[in-house]
Structure formats: structure tokens, C-alpha cells
Amino acid sequence: MKDVYCFGTRELWSIVFPSHSEKLATIASRKMNEVVHTQAKVIADQDVMYKFISKNLLFVSTVAPKAAEGIGLVTPDEAWVVVYLIDIVTGRVLHRVTHQGAQGPVTAVVSENWVVYHYFNLRAHRYEMSVIEIYDESRSDNNNVLKLALGKHNLTSPISSYSRPDVVVKSQSYFFTHSVKAMTVTTTAKGITSKQLLVELLQIRSFQVLALDKRYLDPRRSAEPTQSEKEEGMIPLTDSLPTIPQSYVTHSLQVEGLRGIVTFPTKLESTTLVFSYGIDLFFTRIAPSRTYDSLTDEFSYGLLLLTIAALLIAILITWILSEKKELRINGDGVLM
């Protein structure tokens, strides 16, 4: 009976980080229940890019051992942050990037086909936030509408971690004015609503939660976007990410000792529930793309009813006039 419940284990893969140059800092992955509305992303000139969507994507960051103690204790030449994107099924490294002259702590969040992470730049003496997006090049030929209509595409073909993925990576970095304690992303029921990054900021003697539009963290941003990129909604590139006072989810409240943020979808696609926990607890709801699927509290129901009544009266008057005209025409025909 003892042998019935005995299980064996075997090593599938392993990655060795050199202990003399890298120390594990942060690990992050996608939410298991995250809903992705569409894999396609329509960009300028009606072109389409296909997101690399995988629940097996793991973000791993390492730092220089000397730079793991604290900010300001090492020189920029002795500090670096190394970022890995790893497929946890095979252990294959999909992407690797090194930030020289940078150190932790590293805070990261993974969603859909992108990852955003925060660290400190020793050379610039400022915090930085970087974004990496991964796109599936094996599906990039599915742009012909006729082929899509005839079913001549590979959009529904299965993706295996054991086949080497043909991916393209886009990345960009920005300065950020605050230290970050935690990050998460808004969650909606269908994944249609635009994403917002919820950033827990460590300010002087207090914590705040900032809602940052994902469009600011688009690696395709340029200083002078084309007309088609402007129509797409792309924001011109700046070296820093904005911290707009109206974007603080916590408003002017002093929230103490926050340790994390969690988000939940609601029945309304436009709305996300946000809960921050720590010494203080803070709960609210936000609408990243505004409440496009519900009426506001200031909506004029009286005006709506008045408009409907006016339309009904107009329809009734039109019907009466039409009946009189038809009766008169028929009467003239009888007299003749």
C-alpha cells in the first residue's frame, strides 16, 4: 500500500545563473485566469501584428551580487540588471537583455504578450521602467482578407513549446520619478477594455496607487509619430513617464504600509475592482476606458423620457396626417 502513493521525479530542464555575476532578484508570470480578447493587434497602415500569447512565459531578473545590498553602495560599473523571458515547459530562453549600470530592487508584471519592470539607473541617478513586447512572426502572413475568409491561415493551429517559436521582440525604457513597491494590471471580464498599469508608489511617508495607461508603455512610440500612428492613438515619445495627479487611484488619501494590489473583473466590461492591502486597506473601482457600457449618475433620464414622448407624438401626428391625405385622395377619386 505504501508504494501506491509513491511518485518519481525527474529533471526536465535547468538554467544556471553564474553566482559570481548574477543573483536572482524577481520572478513574475501571467495571471492564470487572464482573458485575452484577441491575438491580433492592428497598427498603422492597417497592418496586423500577432501577439505571442503563452501561459508558459516566465519573467526572471537577476542583479550583480555587489549591487544587491542597496542603492548607492556600488559604482555603475559594478552594477547591472539581467532580464530573461523563459518558456517554463522547455526552459528555452526566448529573450535576454542586460541593463548596465542598473540595480534593483526589480518589480515586474506580466500580461498578455508584454512585461513591464522597474529598477534604478545608477548612471542617471533615476528610476527607470522598461517594457518588452513579444510578437509571433509565424502568423504574420495572415493579413490577406480573402485567405482568411477561405480558411487558408494558421491562426487556429496549435502552438507547441517544443517547436522553436519565431518571435520578434520590441522594447523601450523610460525614466520614472518614484520608487515602486508593487505593480499589477487591470482585469476585465472579456479583455476588451484597454489595460492600465496599477503602480504602488512609495512616496514621502505614504503610499499611493497610480493608474498608468498602457499606451505610455508602448515600445513602438516615436518622438514624431506619423499621421497613421496618430490615428492609431500612439502617444509621442518622451523620456519620462507622466504622473498625472488625476490618475491617482487613491486620490488624496494617505494609505499606509501597502504590500500589494489585486484586481478583479466585474459584470461590466468597462470596470475593474481594485484592492490594495497592507496596514491600511483600500478598495475602489476604476474604468480604464471610461464607463462606455453603463449610464453615468448624472444622466438625464427626464430628458430621455421627454425625447421618447416627443418622438411618439411626432409619429402619431404623421400617421394621422397620412390617413387624412389618403382619405382625401380616395374621396376625390369617388367624386370623379
Verify that 186 and 327 share a domain, yes or no: no
In-domain check, residue 80? yes
Verify that 324 and 202 share a domain, yes or no: no
Say how far residue 302 (Cα) sits from the centre of its chain.
Answer: 38
pTM of this prediction exceeds 0.95: no
Verify that 86 and 34 share a domain, yes or no: yes
In-domain check, residue 294? no
Report how far residue 114's alpha carbon sits from residue 130's, in angstroms, rounded to the nearest whole number.
11
Verify that 253 and 310 share a domain, yes or no: no
Verify that 115 and 264 share a domain, yes or no: yes
Contacts of 102 (CB under 8 A, 6+ apart): 79, 80, 81, 119, 120, 121, 122, 128
DSSP assignments along 204-218, one per residue? TTEEEEEEEEGGGG-
Beta bridge partners of 169: 134
In this prediction, residue 336 carries a pLDDT of: 54
In this prediction, residue 136 carries a pLDDT of: 85
DSSP assignments along 215-229, one per residue? GGG-TT--SS--HHH
Task: Look up the domain containing 323 and give its range.
Answer: 300-336
Query: Going by DSSP bridges, is the β-strand pair 206-213/48-50 parallel, antiparallel, or unpaired?
Result: unpaired
In-domain check, residue 114? yes
Verify that 220 and 314 share a domain, yes or no: no
Verify that 95 and 28 share a domain, yes or no: yes
Verify that 69 and 195 share a domain, yes or no: yes
Verify that 305 and 262 share a domain, yes or no: no
In-domain check, residue 195? yes
Verify that 200 and 311 share a domain, yes or no: no
In-domain check, residue 309? yes
Verify that 154 and 195 share a domain, yes or no: yes
In the DSSP assignment, the letter for residue 176 is E
Verify that 210 and 74 share a domain, yes or no: yes
Total of domains in the chain? 2
Note down pLDDT in tens along the chain; length 336 residues.
556 777 788 888 888 888 888 899 999 999 888 888 888 887 777 678 888 888 899 999 999 988 776 777 788 888 999 999 999 988 899 999 999 999 989 999 999 999 999 999 999 899 999 999 999 887 666 665 555 555 556 566 667 777 777 888 999 999 999 889 899 999 998 988 889 999 998 776 678 899 999 999 999 998 888 888 888 888 999 999 998 888 899 888 888 888 889 999 999 888 999 999 988 899 999 988 888 777 777 778 888 899 999 999 999 999 999 888 888 877 665 555
